[in-house]
Amino acid sequence: MFPKGFYRNKNGELNVQGIKIDALSAKYGTPLFIYDTGLMKERYEVFLSTVKNVKGNIHYAVKANDSVNIIKFFGKLGAGADIVSIGEFRKCVAAGISPKKIIFSGVGKNNDEIEIALRNNISQFNIESEEELYDIYEIANKLKINANICLRINPDIAPNTHKKISTGEKETKFGIDSEKIISIYKKLHELDYINPYGLGVHIGSQIFDFSFFQKAYSYLKWIADNLKKSGYNVPALDLGGGIGIHYERNKKPDFNNYEKIISELFLNSDYKLSFEPGRILIAEAGILITKVIRNKKNKDKNFIVVDAAMNNLIRPTLYDAYHKIETVKIKSGPEKVVDIVGPICETGDYFALNRKFVEVNNDDLLTIRTVGAYSSVMKSNYNSRVDAVEILIYNGRSYQMKEIDTIQDMISKEKIIDFL
């Protein structure tokens, strides 16, 4: 058995499932994303044990990493999926996930997407406005297909996370005002082909203070309980995701505290519960390997220029996110304060600023940790850069996850206008 995750052997060389990272870089090139299925499986099983007492169903949040192979891996472990587009839906189907285990979330489902989802008997729609409800109602009536509807509540809770990933506050685009939820839920019972299925809440991502979950879930349950007391059927509650992970230090997520909260609220209830973990299942299972192009020194700054860029990993640029960075082979010697930057023509193209780092040479390999979620999935081809190769490590072997378009492939897909 190999250690789970990425570890160093007795020679200080970074490994995954018995394979040296520098050997993988030599085989596939850089930049290179590497995903460890051993750690993915461990995280899934821990989360599953956390929600088993309340008979919770796990729906992997595909937006975290939409690779068909990663979706398929979690599907084989028993997960359903939470999606926000028909593109994600088609990837889930390709990965073998039954539409009956897929939840369709998001504020911007268009009519074509709604129709495709209905024709494929999707499990439920998490809807975010009354206007969306009537769009689904009209399409469901036209098709004569029942739609399971879950109303997403906006509870106006700020969970002390980055503003760009806080999704439960009044001023965000997400969810339905809590004052309107009861009246809209009652309306569901008056509409043909609309099946009132439940209520949901998702207040954001990277949440470490679980009192915010306690507050949101308690409010959700209070509304559901009151609807049931009034004679309305509320079969299901969707509790979303959002448990934080530690990017800066090796500390596991606080599953015990989360389990305590959901058990206290739902252990003896008859609600069918859904959970939508994403980052917590996949983030730590991914690393990005990048090669040093050169060192550069300005008057007051030292730079390490690498061959990965913000088009591969935009989180530091977008969220000022921290990622642990280290050399693939242990190096000793003096440290200096550096910026670790990519080759793209943007000042914001960086992975670390003002960080103490050991001196490195051209062609040294660096590893950027905890990039399994919201990293490759947010890639671009800015500056006409090709995608990084992505590989999956399973049972001590490496597998390339998809073909990469060359620059010539990219050019061939453009339609050259004749008269220019």
pLDDT along the chain (420 residues), means of 10: 83 95 98 97 96 93 98 98 98 98 97 98 97 98 98 94 92 94 95 97 94 96 96 96 88 87 94 97 97 95 98 96 96 94 97 97 98 97 97 97 95 90
Residue with token string 């109303």: 151
Residue 261 contacts residue 217 (beta carbons within 8 Å):
yes
Among candidate residues 416, 359, 370, 409, the one with its CA nearest the CA of residue 387: 409
What's the CATH fold of domain 6-36+283-412? Lyase, Ornithine Decarboxylase; Chain A, domain 1 (2.40.37)
Q: What pLDDT, on the 0 to 100 scale, is given for residue 216?
A: 96
Q: What pLDDT, on the 0 to 100 scale, is given for residue 1?
A: 64
Show me where the domains of the chain are located. 6-36+283-412, 37-279
Q: How far is CA 96 from CA 89, 100, 397, in A?
A: 11, 11, 22
Pairing of the two strands 335-341 and 350-358: antiparallel
Q: Is residue 345 annotated as a catalytic residue, yes or no?
A: yes
- C-alpha torsion 100→102→105→108, nearest 10: -80
Q: What pLDDT, on the 0 to 100 scale, is given for residue 420?
A: 80
Q: What pLDDT, on the 0 to 100 scale, is given for residue 254?
A: 83
Structure tokens given for 270? 């008859």
What sections of 36-101 are H helices per DSSP? 37-51, 68-76, 86-94
Domains 6-36+283-412 and 37-279 share a fold: no
- Listing DSSP states for 94-106 in one string gives HTT--GGGEEE--
Q: What pLDDT, on the 0 to 100 scale, is given for residue 277?
A: 97
Q: How far is CA 95 from CA 50, 72, 82, 185, 226, in A?
A: 25, 5, 13, 34, 39
Structure tokens given for 152? 């997403």
Among candidate residues 263, 269, 207, 270, the one with its CA nearest the CA of residue 240: 207
Residue 303 contacts residue 39 (beta carbons within 8 Å):
no
In angstroms, how far is CA 105 from the centroid of its own chain?
A: 14
Q: What pLDDT, on the 0 to 100 scale, is given for residue 332?
A: 87
Among candidate residues 101, 155, 105, the one with its CA nearest the CA of residue 128: 105
Among candidate residues 12, 17, 8, the one with its CA nearest the CA of residue 42: 17
Q: How far is CA 159 from CA 36, 204, 214, in A?
A: 30, 7, 11
The domain 37-279 is placed in CATH, from the list 3.20.20.10, 3.40.250.10, 3.40.50.1950, 3.90.470.20, at 3.20.20.10
Instruction: For residues 291 and 294, give the distance between their C-alpha atoms in angstroms, rounded to a whole number.
Output: 9
Residue 236 contacts residue 273 (beta carbons within 8 Å):
yes
Choice among 345, 416, 417, 420 that is catalytic: 345
Type of residue at 236: A
Q: What pLDDT, on the 0 to 100 scale, is given for residue 247?
A: 92
Residue 70, C-beta contacts closer than 8 angstroms, at least 6 positions apart: 35, 40, 282, 392
